[in-house]
Amino acid sequence: MTDVTAPVPAAPAAPSATVAGKPQRRRYDRSIIEGPLLPSVWKLAWPTMLTNIIGGFQGMVDQALVGNLIGYRANAAIGVSSQIFLIVVIFISSLFSGMSVLVARFAGAGDHDKVDRTVYQAFVTAIGISLFVMAPIGYFASPALLDFVNAAPAVKAEALPFLRTMFVFSSGMLIFFMLGGALRSAGDARTPMILGISLTVLNVVLNVILIRGLGPIPAFGTKGAAMGTCTASGLLAIYSLWKLWNGGWVVSFPRGRGWGPDWEIIRALFRFGLPTGFQGIAMNIGGVFMLSFIGSLAQSAAAQAAFAVCYTQLFSLITWTSVGLMGASAAIAGQNLGAGQPDRSAAAVHVAARIGLSSAAIVGALFLFLPRQLLAIFGMHDPVVVSIGVQLLRVLSVSGLLIATALTYTGGLQGTGDTKSPLYISIVSQIIVPLGICFVIQRTSTLDPIDIWIAILVGHATRCVLSVLRFNQGRWRNIAVNIGGARA
User: Is residue 15 one of the residues assigned to a domain?
Assistant: no
pLDDT tens string 130-154:
888 888 988 998 898 888 877 778 8
158 inside domain: yes
Residue 485 lies in a domain: no
At CA 117, angle to CA 178 and CA 422, rounded to 5?
50
Contact 222, 203 (CB under 8 A): no
What pLDDT, in 10s, does the model give residues 48-100?
Answer: 888 777 766 666 666 677 777 677 777 777 777 776 787 777 777 767 888 88
Domains of the chain: total: 1
Average pLDDT over the chain, rounded to whole? Answer: 83
d(CA 27, CA 69): 50
| Residue 11 belongs to some domain of the structure | no
Q: Is 28 domain-assigned?
A: no
Is residue 176 domain-resident? yes
Residue 5 counted as domain residue: no
Phi/psi class of residue 245: alpha, beta or left (left: φ > 0; alpha: ψ in -120 to 50)?
A: alpha
- First-to-last alpha carbon distance for the chain, in angstroms, is 11
pLDDT, tens only, 220-265: 888 888 898 899 999 999 999 999 988 889 999 987 776 778 888 8
d(CA 301, CA 303): 5
- Dist CA 243 CA 251 (whole Å): 10
pLDDT at residue 434 in the model:
93
Q: In the structure, what pLDDT confidence band is assigned to residue 393 with cuts at 50, 70 and 90?
A: very high
Domain that holds residue 108: 34-478
3-state secondary structure of 174: helix
Whole-angstrom distance, CA of residue 131 vs CA of residue 119: 18
Query: Distances in Å between the alpha carbon of 246 and those of 103, 194, 243, 254, 423?
Result: 20, 19, 5, 10, 37
- Is 133 a member of any domain? yes
**What predicted TM-score, i.e. pTM, was given to this entire model?**
0.75
Number of helices and strands (H, E) in the chain? Answer: 18, 5
Span 204-229, average pLDDT? 86
